[in-house]
Amino acid sequence: DVQLVESGGGSVQAGGSLRLSCSYTRRPNYVTWFRQWPGNGREGVAGIYTGGGDGHYADAVKGRFTITHDIAKRAAYLQMDTLKPEDTAVHYCAASRGWIGPEFRLRAPWYDHWGQGTQVTVS
């Protein structure tokens, strides 16, 4: 099974940066970050195929967030720059060992392994 552990959340002023980390016990095909506001569903933010290639991003974060993956460290990272108050949310790391078509990679139902979530607050 794949177990995920997130770290790196916290509080920052608008315009600042944070880096989230997601460590896994068994390598998945895809690692994707989602975020959730109270009373809302989970929104895909950024994801990456662990076999290589560029990340894929939601329009709201393109140019500000960068997702990377380190096979040796068994971890994926989300570098969040130029943070805005609307980025405030609980951020979750998710993983899938199956194949996901490009148009579905930022959609929560396609992921069956989830981390515990980490709060990001931008003021």
Q: How far apart are CA 52 and CA 120, in angstroms?
A: 27
Q: Which residues of 55-87 are buried (b: 16+ CB within 10 A; e: fewer)?
A: bbbbeebeebbbbebeeeeebbbbebeebeeeb
Q: Where are the beta strands (DSSP E) in 28-99?
A: 30-36, 42-49, 56-57, 65-70, 75-80, 89-96
Supply 88's token pair: 């405030």
Cα→Cα distances 10→54, 106, 115, 118, 121, Å: 26, 23, 16, 8, 6
For 48-107, write each residue's pLDDT tens digit: 999 988 899 999 999 999 999 999 999 999 999 999 999 999 999 999 999 998 889 999
Q: Is 97 exposed, middle or buried (0-12, 13-18, 19+ CB in 10 A)?
A: middle
pLDDT of residue 52: 86
pLDDT of residue 53: 85
